[in-house]
Amino acid sequence: MWQQQVFFGVHYDYHANANDRNIGGDLSEEHLQEWLERIRPDWVQCDCKGHPGYASWPTKTGTPAPGIVRDPLRIHRDVCRRLGIRLGMHYSGVWDARALELHPDWAAVNEKGERSARMTCRHSPYVDEVMIPQLIELIDVYDVDGFWVDGDNWASTPCWCEKCSAAFLSQTGATAVPRSPADRWWRRWLDFHRDLLRRFVKRYVDAVHARKPDCQITSSFAYSARMPDSTVGIPVDYLSGDLDFRFSAQNALLKTLEEAPAHALLLLTADNAEQLLPTIVSRCEVIRLRPTTAAAVTEFLTAQGVPAEKARLLGHLSGGRPGYALRLAADEKALAFRAEKLDDLRELLSANRRTRFAYAEKLAKEKDTFRQALFIWLSFWRDVLLRAAGSEWPLTNLDRAEDVAQISKRLSLTEARRLTSQCEQAIERLEKSVNARLLAEVTLMDWPKVTI
Ligand SMILES: [Zn+2]
């Protein structure tokens, strides 16, 4: 069993939908190979069909996403085989919105009689007419080594359709189908659906094994805390789930927070409160850590032995973050880099298009440098914006006060605001991995021509 021989894998959900464009368009064998040779995973699990139900390969047995321009599965298959890497597939099981667009009568029905737009009913022919044919197609066409079926147990809900209701009544002898947890037979109703889910999983797992015995398949979260059923009945090959730290770590912490020993003071830090469970936040006193003043950071640095003039500059540059200021004080290269990028900006503002293009090309080659340059430029444009707005608020780039003053005089407030937000957007876009060169070109070409 190959899953026993592997340690490190790469998994990606893609969840192609009807509006995606250019699927596979940016992927090439060379690119993928270079990337996998660097990461050296034991296996790769790439997406083939997500919750919207559109396949990201040109399927013959379901609906291919309209935006496929090149078959990403073919590229993955060929490259993984060449490198001796096992290839698994991420496939959405119970949840398939496209199948329900085509067959509304396959939908799970809620207690009010409304059809779901996402979840299929276990009495529908979905598993036989879409899911199994697609899994077999993937084995036949790409000889895939495994499947990771997403959205089974956690996406399953009881279904009140006629077929499910009739089957329940005949199996149990109940006189009416329960509608709420207060009703008699409710537990049996849930058990009945769990059993349907187990049968559903067994059906497709058996179909996969029958076609390719060494194809290793799992249903996500099977036999985890989300599906604590007995192991009898579902022959999955391994256990896996897209575990979120919120599921376990935070829940485990709840008890500690509730019953903290008297001598302990627990301090939790988080980048943003939205990442936390509400139950955690409600048991804590929330203290928002805001940056301190430039003056306080300067004072702090001076006390640490940083020369007065440097301490003053770093106090401003740090944006009120003492830890960052201390790092800058110890890192001569970081300060030199900043000075260089601000000099570059000054020169580029008076430069012609050709110089700017050449600079953009060089800049885009090192994404991290590009990103850092954007942050430095953003701090400069914010300073310009402050002065253009007539504000006397202390500048971040204290040592460039003259440049800031000169440029802010020649720009309207609207222009200063636009340049600031353009820089913010560029940082955001770079994080999203857009074409870095194009982004660098657009950013630099957008700057006004100002000679100072
Ligand atoms: Zn049903």
Span from the CA of 161 to the centroid of ligand 1 (angstroms): 4
Interhelix angle 332-350/401-410, nearest 10 degrees: 30
Gyration radius (Cα) of the chain, Å = 29
pLDDT at 131: 98
Span from the CA of 127 to the centroid of ligand 1 (angstroms): 13
What does the pLDDT look like over 352-411, one tens digit per residue? 999 999 999 999 998 889 999 999 999 999 999 999 999 888 888 988 999 999 999 999
Confirm if 16 and 46 have CB atoms less than 8 A apart.
no
Rounded Cα distance between 423 and 368, Å, is: 15
Span from the CA of 137 to the centroid of ligand 1 (angstroms): 26
- 11 forms beta bridges with 45
Helix (H) or strand (E) run with residue 87 in it: strand 86-92
What does the pLDDT look like over 291-338, one tens digit per residue? 788 899 999 999 989 999 889 989 888 878 888 888 888 888 888 999
Span from the CA of 166 to the centroid of ligand 1 (angstroms): 10
Confirm if 373 and 363 have CB atoms less than 8 A apart.
yes
Span from the CA of 96 to the centroid of ligand 1 (angstroms): 15
pLDDT at 113: 95
Span from the CA of 230 to the centroid of ligand 1 (angstroms): 23
Span from the CA of 107 to the centroid of ligand 1 (angstroms): 7
Tokens representing 285 are 């006193």
Span from the CA of 13 to the centroid of ligand 1 (angstroms): 27
Name the amino acid, one letter, at 198: R
Span from the CA of 268 to the centroid of ligand 1 (angstroms): 45
pLDDT at 247: 63
pLDDT at 30: 95
Rounded Cα distance between 76 and 371, Å, is: 30
Confirm if 404 and 391 have CB atoms less than 8 A apart.
no
Cα 169 to chain centroid, rounded: 43
Span from the CA of 93 to the centroid of ligand 1 (angstroms): 15
Span from the CA of 221 to the centroid of ligand 1 (angstroms): 22
Tokens representing 399 are 């040592």
3-state secondary structure of 441: helix
Rounded Cα distance between 141 and 73, Å, is: 10
Edge-to-edge, what's the strand order for the sheet holding 9-11? 9-11, 43-49, 86-92, 146-150, 216-219
Rounded Cα distance between 103 and 125, Å, is: 10
pLDDT in tens, the chain (452 residues): 898 889 999 998 889 999 999 999 999 999 999 999 999 999 999 999 999 999 999 999 999 999 999 999 999 999 999 999 999 999 999 999 999 999 999 999 999 999 999 999 999 999 999 999 999 999 999 999 999 999 898 889 899 999 999 999 999 999 999 999 999 999 999 999 999 999 999 999 999 999 999 999 999 988 877 787 765 678 899 988 876 666 667 777 787 888 877 888 888 888 777 777 788 888 888 887 777 888 999 999 999 899 998 899 898 888 788 888 888 888 888 889 999 999 999 999 999 999 999 999 999 998 889 999 999 999 999 999 999 999 888 888 988 999 999 999 999 999 999 999 999 999 988 887 678 899 999 999 999 988 87
Concatenate the DSSP letters of all residues of 205-230 into one string. Answer: HHHHHHH-TT-EEEETTTTSTT----
Name the amino acid, one letter, at 81: R
Span from the CA of 163 to the centroid of ligand 1 (angstroms): 6
Rounded Cα distance between 276 and 245, Å, is: 10
Closest CA to 53 of 10, 100, 12: 100
Q: Which residue has the tokens 């398949």?
A: 217
Span from the CA of 65 to the centroid of ligand 1 (angstroms): 27
Ramachandran area for residue 164 (φ above 0: left; ψ -120 to 50: alpha; else beta): alpha
Span from the CA of 195 to the centroid of ligand 1 (angstroms): 13
Span from the CA of 55 to the centroid of ligand 1 (angstroms): 24
Span from the CA of 159 to the centroid of ligand 1 (angstroms): 4
pLDDT at 253: 79
